[in-house]
Structure 1
Amino acid sequence: MPFALALTVILVLLAVFQLALVFGAPLGRFAWGGQHRVLPARLRIGSAVSILIYALIDVIAWDRVGAVDVFPAPFSEIAMWVIFGYFTLGILMNAVSRSKPERYMMVPVSVALSVLSFLIAMGMGELAAAA
């Protein structure tokens, strides 16, 4: 469960960051390609959707480790591999960003999320494994 907890902490911090973007914080250089100081409406909507996606990812991760029982086991197992792919793709997407602040901040975050989601997808940290 420590991997799911670490994933949750990072996702909560990202959700707070995205919420700040939604409300117009001048942090746009760290997100969405770094082209805007304050995000335009369409990207603010994207940030709001990101928060919902983070919440879903978190529920799937906790389901996968057995802390909650929301989805059938095959779903959470497959979904965690999809999430791993999503975060791994995020490494690449953030690495090619034109925004240096985005690259410097989000590449390490994406690496951490990718590694944690890989460990969770592999079944490490499951409650049953601890018993």
Structure 2
Amino acid sequence: MSTTVNQKSLYERLGGANGIEALVDDIVDAHMKNPVVKARFLPLKEDQNHYNEVRRHLINFLASGSGGPEEYTGKDMPAAHKGMNISAGEYMSVIDDIMFALKKHNIDEESQKDVLAIAYSLKDQMIGK
């Protein structure tokens, strides 16, 4: 493990604002192609304004949660996922898409583990709500 990786925030290791924006675009694209969850994400394409709002919330959520200056002003996780009744399988499928995007962007293993730990910490706030 290199010292420089440890000295950088997760935000920096994910590529800052531009890197996180590209990650979110690839994650959402993967969700829209993923047979397990695409039915939940494809309707976003029908309303460009809603899509843009969700995209911005995802970018700001990841940026803010990883140490960036962006402010997340969206709903908290239970409120954002209320009534969706997300299954454990759907949750894991989304995690797979996130990990795939991190690897695609050559994010180092330590940072991948950090993102995974954050995602798992939110699990109970999303599943079955």
Tell me whether the two structures share a fold, i.e. TM-score over 0.5.
no
**TM-score with structure 2 length normalisation?**
0.33
Please say which structure displays the higher CA radius of gyration: 1
- After TM superposition, the score normalised by the length of structure 1 is 0.33
